Amino acid sequence: MAKASTFTTQFTILFLLSSSLSIFQVSGKESDDPFVRTMDRKLLGMEKEKLSHFKIYWHDIITGPSPSAIQIVPPPKNTSKTAFGLVRMIDNPLTLGPELSSKMVGRAQGFYAQASQEEIGLLMAMNFAFIEGKYNGSTITVLGRNRVFSKVREMPVIGGSGLFRFARGYAQVRTQKFDAKTGDATVEYNLYVLHY
């Protein structure tokens, strides 16, 4: 009788162990989907993440012979005083200094839309496309809310391309100059970007 009891106990333990191993094999298994696979980060050069700070000036030029911001959707008539609904496409110069004549390092390409009925609050979606130095051809993507008349605004950096693949961070934004008659503006962007 003791031999049968020992055999049953050993069999039960062996069964439980083999079942556990089967569970671990299934949970560690690659996806059954043919379009996805796990990769080693090192294959993409993602070994060491760094934090970079970029200080650049964004020039929104609405007037003149060659505007960099074009209205593509006007606000509906008889709407709020904030021009709620207005959309502008941009290809704004990015320079090293606050003067438009300073060295251009890239362009901010995207759009902004008046997204608030209560205040001047923009939804901004843009790529900072760099044309200078080792960052030439790389982009940083900014997407967020910009309360234009706040002294300092913050918007998220949500990604990028080239040297900024897998980028994340934030932008601190301060208006340097705004012409109420023309709508032209110069804005300082401090971008704090984690990237590989």
Q: What b/e sequence results for 33-49 when a residue is b if at least 16 CB atoms lie within 10 Å of its CB, and e otherwise?
A: eeeeeeeeeeeeeeeee
User: Which residues sit opposite 93 in a β-bridge?
Assistant: 107
Single-letter residue type at 29? K
Q: Please, what sign has the CA dihedral across residues 76, 81, 84, 89?
A: positive
Residue 105 pLDDT exceeds 80: yes
Q: Which residues have a Cβ under 8 Å from the Cβ of 184 and sit 6 or more positions away?
A: 59, 60, 61, 62, 63, 178
pLDDT at 172: 98
Indicate the pTM of the whole model.
0.78
pLDDT tens for each residue of 152-183? 999 999 999 999 999 999 999 999 999 999 99
pLDDT tens for each residue of 26-71? 444 556 788 888 888 778 777 889 999 999 999 999 999 999 999 9
